Each structure stands twice: as structure tokens, then as C-alpha cells.
Amino acid sequence: MFAPIGLAIAGPFFFWSWPLVALGQFIVALNFAEVSSHFPIAGSVYQWTKYLSNRHYSWFTGWIYLFAGILTVTAVDATIPIVLIPLLNNLGIGITATLTSEIIIAALILASTTLLNIYGVRLVAIVNNTGVVFEILGMVVFALLLLIFYHHQPATIVFDSSYLGTGFTGGAFLAAMFMSLFVIYGFDTASTLAEETKNPRVEAPKAVLGSIAGAFVIGGVFLYATLVAIPDMGKFVKGAGAATIFSPADIFNAVMPKWLASIYLLIVLAAIYVCCLAIQTSTIRLAFGMARDGKLPFGRIYNKVSPTLHTPVGTCIVVGVLAAVPFLYFTGAAALAVGATGLIYLSYMLGNIAVLGARMRGWPTDKAPFKLGSWGTVVNVLAIAWGGSMLVNFLWPRVTSNPNISALPNYPSWLGFIGGIPIFEATIGVILIVGAIYYVVAQLPKRDTAVRAA
């Protein structure tokens, strides 16, 4: 998705955050690809840390990763109204984009993806595969259309930082990176599906690395084509900063015939819907795995597989309900996206630290189809350095990406000093405090049954 925050802060120059983030994430993906070749198991960093560290570390990693997935489901759901409302308006169905209308649409989408997950893996696979085809063809075709027929800016526009009133700064570029940071993640879950394929130790690394490569090429071409298509860059940069231009629909409705823009929005809608469905499916698998291991509250109640539907119906419902909770105090998709992405990056870094610890103890000792060999430790350290630098970026208090809680609409003044805490820090704090209390009460007394990797 095209993010106005990047355009507003760094102008078209924010395009260069895309290859930078892709490179950093590819380093992380290399490390995860080797791990997935040894452990092609559903659950990603939770399962990997379970084998490569101890039960205390793996539990907290899994707990954070679980809520990162849940919040990501909410965040992706919240982006659907940004596309669906302009599409419906193009078709003559007038809907005003308000927080209320966005909440209703997002909640209905969440209910539909939850039902799809309840009614079977095969149905989810059909919807997912169809959506992926739509996404690839749609992004490529429309990128070509924009470049050939609807270009308004010179090819060098992505080098232009003159649209920034205060000039370009490193801090501005770091804030403008959030679109790329939000889009290029989730590649670790590609190994989850490989568990159900033939020869998973070979296919899992391919899936992890292929997802990064595909996102970089297709997304990069489309982002570039979109920037080149903007008819009045100064107007759009100013509009993005004032929140009067807030979605790709504004750009495509400005340069394309309405019917063609509507087709594009339909394709984007399908792509986002499939993305949400895939993330929710992965999160459900993670929650089911943790509950099955006895790692979640009341897990024995909802981790049962339906004999009729052959799906963990209870787990599907629990994940769906938890993903709906942020809609009770919804302030827009941007805050959710920053929180969800930051938690994912924290989970990745915890996973990379666990892998490095295992390497220091001599792992891997077994052979696997994909291996980094002597480069393993170097790649691992670089992955941690990348993740740590981006966590600093997420934790950086600033109005554009991580404002204080008191800056939110309808902020309840009775919260007192809590209002001075940035949103991302508050999100991490709540998850860790609740998790620590539960862990001390319910998990710590349990006997250590962790399995170490050979």
C-alpha cells in the first residue's frame, strides 16, 4: 500500500526506503531460511526459539509474536476501508469515510476471514491462491499502464527531495520508512506452509527467500510507477501531510478513467483481503500450537479440532475476538500499523538472538539442504543489528509515527501520566506486563520440558 506518511515526510525520495528495508529484511530472511531448513514447523520464531533456547525465552518470544500477529490482522483489516470506500463511491454507492464507517467495514471483513478459517483449510487455500494471482497480475499490469500511459513526472523524480519545506534530513527519512517496514515482513510464515508440502526442508527456505524477492521486485516497480503517475507532486505531498490525500485511490482517480481506477481498486482490495486471510491463518496456527503446548491461558478449552470441520474452531474465534478488541478504541489504520510492525520486528530480533545463542553453542551440527556455512554468524549478527536499529526507529517518540497517547482523539484525561507515554512503548508495556503476570502465576511453576536442537 502507498503510505501518505512517507510522501508527506520525505516526498518522492522516500522511495529509497523500499530497497533499503528489502535488503535489511533479506539478511533476516537468510538467517531464518537456514533455521527453517532445520525446523520447517508452523509457528515460526516461537517454534524456532523453543528448539534453540529455553522455555522461558521461547514463551515470551511466542507471547509477543502472537500479539504481533493479532494486531497485524487488525491493522490490515483497517486498511481495507481505505480502498473499499473509494471503490464503492466510484460505483455510485456513496459512503463517507469516517472512523465509524471504517470500523464497521473492518469488523465485517474480520468476521468473514474468521468464518473462512473456521470452515476449512481447503477453502482458505482456494481464496489465497486466487488472490495471489490477482495481486501479481494486477500490480504488474497496472504498473505498466501507469508507466506507459499515465506518467506525469520525470524518471528521476525519486531523487528529488526539494518538496520538503525544511529540507531532507536523516530523521525524516527514518520516519518515512514506515510504509516499507509495514509491507516487507511476514516472510517467516512462508515456511509454515512448507511444512505441509513435500520435502519441506528444501521448500521452506525457498519460500522464505522467494517471498522477500517477489515483494521487493513487484512492490518496487509498482511504487515507482505510482510516484511517476502523480500529476502534481507538490499538491500531493502537501495533501498527504494535511491528511486530505490519504489513499492510493486519490492518485488513481486523478489520473485514470473512473472505470479503470475502479478495476485497480478491486484488484488491490482482493490482494489486501488475501493478505489479511493469510496472516490470520498463520496467527491461528501459532495460537493453536502454543495452546497445544500448554502455553496460553485456558488453552485446553479452545485448542480442540472440530471432528466435522477439521479446524480449531475455538482458536479461530479467540484470535478473531482479540483482533477485534482494538476497534473499541479505533484511531485509524496508521497507529495500528506502527504498533503491529514494531512488535513483529521485536519478535524477529528475539528470534535472531536465540539463533545466535545456539550458534555460539555449536549449532547447527546436523546437515540441512540450505546452509549459510561459515557466513552464518556474520549474517546472524547483521540481522540483529538491522532489527535493533529499526526497533530504535519504532521507539523514537515523534508525532509522525509514535505520538504520545494523549495525542489520540478522545483521549481519556483520567489516565493521567500514562498520556505522556508514546503509543508503541505503551503497547509493548501492556503486552509484557500482562504476559509477565500470567507467566509467573501459570507457567513458571511448570517443569522445564524444552527440547534443545542437536
**pLDDT single digits (tens) 433-444:** 999 999 999 998
- Of 245, 252, 254, 246, whose CA–CA distance to 267 is shortest? 252
Whether residue 449 is predicted with pLDDT greater than 70 in this model: the reply is no
> What is the CATH number for 428?
1.20.1740.10
Whether 87 is in a domain gets the answer: yes
Per-residue model confidence (pLDDT) at position 114: 95
pLDDT in tens, 362-411: 999 888 899 999 899 999 999 999 999 999 988 888 877 788 888 777 67
Give dist(CA 104, CA 81) in Å, integer.
9
How many CB atoms neighbour CB 19 within 10 A? 12
The pLDDT of 151-167, averaged and rounded, is 77
Tell me the pLDDT band of 136, cut-offs 50, 70 and 90: confident
Q: What is 281-324 written as a DSSP string?
A: HHHHHHHHHHHHTT-STTHHHH-PPPTTT-S-HHHHHHHHHHHH
Per-residue model confidence (pLDDT) at position 149: 87
pLDDT in tens, 36-45: 999 888 778 9
User: What type of residue is 231?
Assistant: P
Whether residue 23 is predicted with pLDDT greater than 90 in this model: the reply is yes
pLDDT in tens, 317-355: 999 999 999 998 887 777 788 888 999 999 999 999 999
Cα of first residue to Cα of last residue in the chain, in angstroms, is 42
pLDDT in tens, 238-266: 766 555 555 667 777 888 888 888 888 88
The pLDDT of 70-83, averaged and rounded, is 92
If one compares 129 and 18, the residue with the highest pLDDT of the two is: 18
The pLDDT of 227-237, averaged and rounded, is 81
Question: Number of structural domains, the chain?
Answer: 1
Per-residue model confidence (pLDDT) at position 2: 44
Where is average pLDDT lowest: 24-33, 250-259, 281-290, 425-434?
250-259
The pLDDT of 217-239, averaged and rounded, is 83
Alpha helices in 4-153 (DSSP H): 4-10, 17-38, 45-52, 55-90, 99-118, 121-149
Q: Of the ranges 130-144, 175-189, 253-267, which is most confident? A: 253-267
Whether 449 is in a domain gets the answer: no
If one compares 191 and 352, the residue with the highest pLDDT of the two is: 352
Per-residue model confidence (pLDDT) at position 127: 66
Q: For the full predicted model, state whether its pTM sits above 0.85.
A: yes
Reduced to 3 states (helix: H, G, I; strand: E, B; else coil), residue 398 is strand
Question: Containing domain of residue 245, as a range?
Answer: 4-443
Whether 70 is in a domain gets the answer: yes
Give dist(CA 163, CA 166) in Å, integer.
9
Where is average pLDDT lowest: 114-118, 161-165, 214-218?
161-165
- Whether the bond between 307 and the residue before it is cis, its omega within 30 degrees of 0, is no
**Mean confidence (pLDDT) of the chain:** 84
Give dist(CA 80, CA 366) in Å, integer.
45
Whether residue 426 is predicted with pLDDT greater than 50 in this model: the reply is yes
Whether 109 is in a domain gets the answer: yes
Q: What is the CA radius of gyration of the chain?
A: 22
